[in-house]
Amino acid sequence: MGGDNAPDVTVEGAAAFLSARKEAFVRLHGDEAKLKPVMAKYSSVADRMEIVHTEDVITSDMKPSQALRRGRNSSMWNALEDVKEGRANAAVSAGNTGALMAISMLVLRKMDGVHRPAMTAAWPTLRGRTVVLDVGANLEADAAQLVTFAIMGEAYARAILGIERPTIGLLNIGSEEMKGHDEIREAHELLRGSELDLDYQGFVEGDDISSGKVDVIVTDGFTGNVALKAGEGVARMLGVRVREALTGSLFSKLGAVLAMGGLKNLRSQMDPSNVNGGVLLGLGGVSVKSHGGTDGRGFARACQLAADLATSHYRDEVATNLSKIRQKGIAAE
C-alpha cells in the first residue's frame, strides 16, 4: 500500500468503500504486520478484506524504469497481477504515478488498437464534471491518438458520470488565423467525419475545462497536465484570498461565521477528495491512481470509481469504436 499516509488512509478508504458497496471485496497488498492492526479498526467490514502479504515496495522516488526492473513482487505489482489473473476487477494505488503507469502497461497490456494509454482527470465544472484526457501519460499525441482518446474518454464518461451520450470537445486556442497544430486540425476532421457515432462538438478552449461546455475534453498529455495544474493553482490562490478576505476585519470574521454553512458546502464541492482518482485508459484492465496525499474519503472515492469502471461496458464500447477506426486505417494495429 503506497501513498503519503499509508497504510492508515488507504485501509480507512478501503473500509469506507466496503461500507458503501456491500457486494465488494478488497485485497490489501502490503506488509501484514503493518496492515493487520489498522484493519482491526474496521471490524464491520473485515470479513470482506484480505491481506496479500509482501514486504517489497515501490518507493515514491523510484523511476519507472527502476520500478520495472526491481518491482516484481511489490505490493503495486501484485495488485496489478491480481487484475490480470482475474482475482480482482480493478487495482487502486496511491503510490508512485510513473511506476504505476509503467507496471500497469507491462502487466495489463494495451487494448488492441490503442497506441498509448491516456491518463484521465474528472474536473469539477459549473455543471458537474468534465473528463479531461490525456493529463500526463504522453508528452505528445498525433491525430490518430487524439481520436483514440476521444473514444476512450467518451466511454469512460458514460461509465463514471452516468451520462448516456457524453459530448466531446478538442482542446485548442481561439485565435482564428492559426487555429491549432496540424495534429489537432487533422483529429478535428477525423472526429467530424467519422462513422463513430460520437457526439463531437468541435474545438473548445482552456476556459471550457471549468465551464462544463462538454463532458469530455481531449488533448495531449503535456497540454492537459499544464492546463489542470494551472487551474489547480488558481483555485489554491483564490482559496487563500477568500480566506484572507473573510478574516481581514472583525466585521468580515463575523460575516464569515454567519456564512459558514454556505462556505462549507462550497468547500465540499471543491474538495479534491471528491474528484480523486485518475484512470489510465486503454489497458486490458482497470488501474486507478489515487492522489498520494488524499484522505480516507478520497481513497474511498478512487475505489468507487474503479468499481464503477470495472462493472461498466466501457471496454466493450471502446473495442467496438476502435475496430471501426481500424477498418479505416486510423488506429494502431
Find the binding residues for a copy of itself in span 47-106 (CB under 8 A): 63-65, 97-98, 102
Contact 131, 309 (CB under 8 A): no
Among 4, 233, 313, 327, binds a copy of itself (CB under 8 A): 233
- 13 vs 64, which CB is nearer to a copy of itself? 64
Q: Which of 258, 172, 179, 251 is nearest to 207 (CA)?
A: 172
Stretch that binds a copy of itself, among 2-10, 145-153, 170-178, 324-332 (CB under 8 A): 170-178
Q: Does 40 bind a copy of itself (CB under 8 A)?
A: no
Q: Does 173 bind a copy of itself (CB under 8 A)?
A: yes
Stretch that binds a copy of itself, among 15-23, 47-55, 78-86, 175-183 (CB under 8 A): 175-183
Q: Does 232 bind a copy of itself (CB under 8 A)?
A: yes
Stretch that binds a copy of itself, among 22-30, 48-56, 69-77, 136-144 (CB under 8 A): 136-144
All three cell numbers of 250: 472583525
Among 73, 238, 313, 323, binds a copy of itself (CB under 8 A): 238
Stretch that binds a copy of itself, among 22-30, 151-159, 253-261, 316-324 (CB under 8 A): 253-261
Q: Does 235 bind a copy of itself (CB under 8 A)?
A: yes
Q: Does 46 bind a copy of itself (CB under 8 A)?
A: no
Among 86, 126, 164, 329, binds a copy of itself (CB under 8 A): 126
Among 13, 124, 169, 285, binds a copy of itself (CB under 8 A): 124
Shortest spacing between CB 142 and a copy of itself, in angstroms: 14
Contact 252, 245 (CB under 8 A): yes
Stretch that binds a copy of itself, among 21-29, 87-95, 135-143, 192-200 (CB under 8 A): 135-143
Among 41, 259, 316, 327, binds a copy of itself (CB under 8 A): 259
- 54 vs 274, which CB is nearer to a copy of itself? 274
Which position has the grid cell 520495472? 68
- Write out the binding residues for a copy of itself, residues 261-290 only, by CB under 8 A: 261-263, 265-266, 269-270
- 35 vs 132, which CB is nearer to a copy of itself? 132
Distance CA 225, CA 220 (A): 9
Stretch that binds a copy of itself, among 25-33, 36-44, 172-180, 300-308 (CB under 8 A): 172-180
